[in-house]
Chain A
Amino acid sequence: MRVTKSEARLLWFLAAIVFVGGNYFGYDWLAKKQATLQHQFAELRADQAEAKVDLIEAGRWEQRKAWIRAHEPVLGDEGDAKAQTLEAVLKGARDNKLDIIEQSLNDAEHGAAGTKINVSVKVKGSMQALVKWLTDLQKPEQFFAISLFSLRADEDQKSMVCTLQVARYFKGGS
């Protein structure tokens, strides 16, 4: 079959349209794919930079985990733990000659660091006794934390009234 000049021109025109169209869509696809990859690459690079900094500190975090495993008390029965925690707090107060005005047990909380047993106490005494009691109480290896602390002068202006919410962390129970 012989192709005339106008047919040949039309064929060229069609081929040009197909070529341009194909390139348009091809480039569009390629550009989107490149942009997505570029975005992923930038995110992964940032993550890697952050992770590298973290990995430098890996030893420190291992030491800290080991310290937590070695010192954090293990939760047995939750009731026993509550009683022990309250008793430990009250004993310290009594040992430091503080008057216990109020005491209560709060709900336990569970988190990544284990179970948190909360107790609340209100005591009255001299500032010196209070400071000594709280210093003994808040030692890291005992896993006691004072989550709420309120201190005001008593009406007699000689002693202080301290309201505390004390929490003790236990391993397990989550």
Chain B
Amino acid sequence: MVRAVKTKQTRSLTKGQRAILLPGATGAEPWELWLLGGKAAADLVQICPSPLENRLRKNTILALPVAQVFCLPLWLNETDPKLFAGIIRLQLELRGLQPRGTEPAVFDWTIVAQEASRTLVVVGVLPATLAPEIHAEAYDAFDLSARYLPFPENTLTIWREQDKLALTITRGSSLVYYQSLGEGEINTRVMQDISCAQVTLAMQDILMPLQKMLLWTEVTPAELTTLKGALPLPIEQEECPPPVAPKQTWKLTPSVVGEARRARASRNWQMRGLAIFLLFYLIVVGVLVTRLVTTSRRVDELRQWQTENQPALDLIHDGRSEWKELGPVVDTKYYPMELLLETYQAIPLDQLHLTLFEAGNNHLLIKGEAKNVAGAFQFFGRLKGDPYFSAYNLEMANPHPLPNDLASFQIEGAHASN
């Protein structure tokens, strides 16, 4: 059988196109990359030595060879599709198809026929171990190769996958059974397998009367004679047609691949988390360092300003200290005569006379005799209220009444600058 392969390598898919990697008929061309959908018909674009050689694998469905997927047609006493998964899982366990350990079985199914109280499904189950080349993590999805071939109704079809013969049987137009025959040529053992499968399916009421046997591979006259002798069906021989996409794909992702994907997703999340943390960390560090640099720069600017203005400030400070020391010369508040004048102005009319007035060293002492005690207090109150004496902390002990009805008093004050 000769297949035409596109010489120009396809690098991307157009809108609506799907890429399928199907097992080839021979071991020399073990994998074929087909493009389905879109405006053009199915197109073989590449022959690959292994699934890893496919450049479009991120957007490709890897169709597993029939030899890699175990087939189990089942009548389920249930018509609600929501319950099928649980029932099928139990059936797999019953038949010993559940892998050992905690890993669940990888399977998918298609409804073949539905009656009033039961449903016929064909289940594809992945074995616990698969060929290493199948563990191609980068593939978008995993399916069964037989589901992509357009088998005629109620037909037993023999075809070839990677040099091995494969058998498929349809019920109506639906694929109901497939099996790898494990041999490269039709012999008595193969015929026994075919008969066995046919009888088993018939006993389970899975098969409808078969109309013909179809050969999608070249056979020798001897093989054809063997076939004719074993099965009472008309035999037709055709070239294997191009693949056709099923309505819905199976999800037969190997557990190793699923685990690897989960691990990668987990790693990706960890890396994302780490990246976000690092970004946040760098922002915080950046803010702290910027704040430090800004403050440092402000301090430098202030120091520079201080240095620039220091001579002028020194002159001012010198002048101020000199002026302060010359306070008794230049500030009238230090003049004793001014203090005396203010003191006299605070005396109530005809109320008292002073006997001593002392001022110096920021200290003030006033002694006198008042007409009575009230006069002394009145004088003291006036002095305290006088703004001129606001810088002095004035204090007066209780006036001392004299025998001549006068009251002697003494007022002392210290300058607040002391």
B322 A33 Cβ-Cβ under 8 A: no
Any A CB within 8 A of the CB of B41: no
| Complex: A65 Cα to B295 Cα, angstroms | 38
* Residues of A contacting B: mostly: helix
B313 A55 Cβ-Cβ under 8 A: yes
**Residue of A48, A65, A135 touching B306 (CB-CB under 8 A):** A48
A138 B322 Cβ-Cβ under 8 A: no
* Closest residue of A by beta carbon distance from B339: A149
- Residues of B within 8 Å of A140, CB to CB, are 329-330
**Residue of B292, B296, B329, B337 touching A131 (CB-CB under 8 A):** B337
| Complex: A140 Cα to B331 Cα, angstroms | 8
- Type the 1/0 row for A38-53, where 1 means its CB is closer than 8 Å to any CB of B: 1011001101100100
| Complex: A153 Cα to B368 Cα, angstroms | 10
Any B CB within 8 A of the CB of A64: yes
- Residues of A within 8 Å of B323, CB to CB, are 61, 64, 68
Any B CB within 8 A of the CB of A57: yes
| Complex: A100 Cα to B206 Cα, angstroms | 151
**Residue of B296, B326, B335 touching A169 (CB-CB under 8 A):** B326
Any A CB within 8 A of the CB of B298: yes
Interface size class of B (residues with CB under 8 A): 35 or more
B292 A55 Cβ-Cβ under 8 A: no
| Complex: A37 Cα to B297 Cα, angstroms | 10
Q: How far is the CB of A167 from chain B (nearest CB, A)?
A: 7
A residues 19-44 near B (Cβ < 8 Å) are 27, 30, 33-34, 37-38, 40-41, 44
- Residues of A within 8 Å of B330, CB to CB, are 140
B residues 340-383 near A (Cβ < 8 Å) are 340, 354-361
Q: A41-B298, A113-B325 are in contact. Are A138 and B313 (CB under 8 A)?
A: no
- Residues of A within 8 Å of B289, CB to CB, are 30
**Residue of B288, B303, B316, B321 touching A44 (CB-CB under 8 A):** B303
Q: A44-B303, A165-B360, A167-B328 are in contact. Are A152 and B316 (CB under 8 A)?
A: no
- Residues of B within 8 Å of A146, CB to CB, are 328, 335-337, 359-360
- Residues of A within 8 Å of B355, CB to CB, are 152-153
Any B CB within 8 A of the CB of A74: no
Q: How far is the CB of A88 from chain B (nearest CB, A)?
A: 14
Any A CB within 8 A of the CB of B80: no
A112 B322 Cβ-Cβ under 8 A: yes
| Complex: A68 Cα to B361 Cα, angstroms | 23
Q: How far is the CB of A173 from chain B (nearest CB, A)?
A: 14
* Closest residue of B by beta carbon distance from A47: B306
- Residues of B within 8 Å of A48, CB to CB, are 302, 305-306
Any A CB within 8 A of the CB of B291: yes
B326 A61 Cβ-Cβ under 8 A: no
A65 B322 Cβ-Cβ under 8 A: yes
- Residues of A within 8 Å of B312, CB to CB, are 55, 58
* Closest residue of A by beta carbon distance from B334: A145
- Residues of A within 8 Å of B118, CB to CB, are none
- Residues of A within 8 Å of B305, CB to CB, are 48
- Residues of A within 8 Å of B318, CB to CB, are 65, 112
B335 A138 Cβ-Cβ under 8 A: yes
* Closest residue of B by beta carbon distance from A140: B330
**Residue of A27, A38, A131 touching B295 (CB-CB under 8 A):** A38
Most interface-central of B302, B322, B325, B356 (chain A CB within 10 A): B322
A145 B329 Cβ-Cβ under 8 A: yes
| Complex: A91 Cα to B305 Cα, angstroms | 54
B356 A150 Cβ-Cβ under 8 A: yes
Q: How far is the CB of A38 from chain B (nearest CB, A)?
A: 6
Sampled A-B contacts (28; CB under 8 Å): A30-B288, A34-B291, A38-B295, A41-B302, A44-B303, A45-B302, A48-B306, A55-B312, A58-B315, A61-B319, A65-B319, A65-B322, A112-B318, A112-B322, A131-B337, A140-B329, A145-B326, A145-B334, A146-B337, A147-B360, A148-B360, A149-B357, A149-B358, A150-B358, A150-B360, A151-B358, A152-B357, A167-B328
- Measured CB to CB, the residues of A under 8 A from B are 27, 30, 33-34, 37-38, 40-41, 44-45, 47-48, 51, 54-55, 57-58, 61-62, 64-65, 68, 111-113, 131, 134-135, 138, 140, 143-153, 165, 167, 169
Q: Which 6 A-B pairs have the closest CB atoms?
A: A148-B360, A145-B328, A149-B336, A44-B302, A61-B319, A113-B325
Task: Known pairs A55-B309, A61-B319; list 18 more (Cβ under 8 Å).
Answer: A27-B288, A33-B292, A37-B296, A40-B299, A44-B303, A47-B306, A48-B306, A65-B322, A113-B325, A135-B337, A140-B329, A145-B328, A147-B360, A150-B358, A150-B359, A152-B357, A167-B328, A169-B326
- Measured CB to CB, the residues of B under 8 A from A are 288-289, 291-292, 295-296, 298-299, 302-303, 305-306, 309, 312-313, 315-323, 325-326, 328-330, 334-337, 340, 354-361
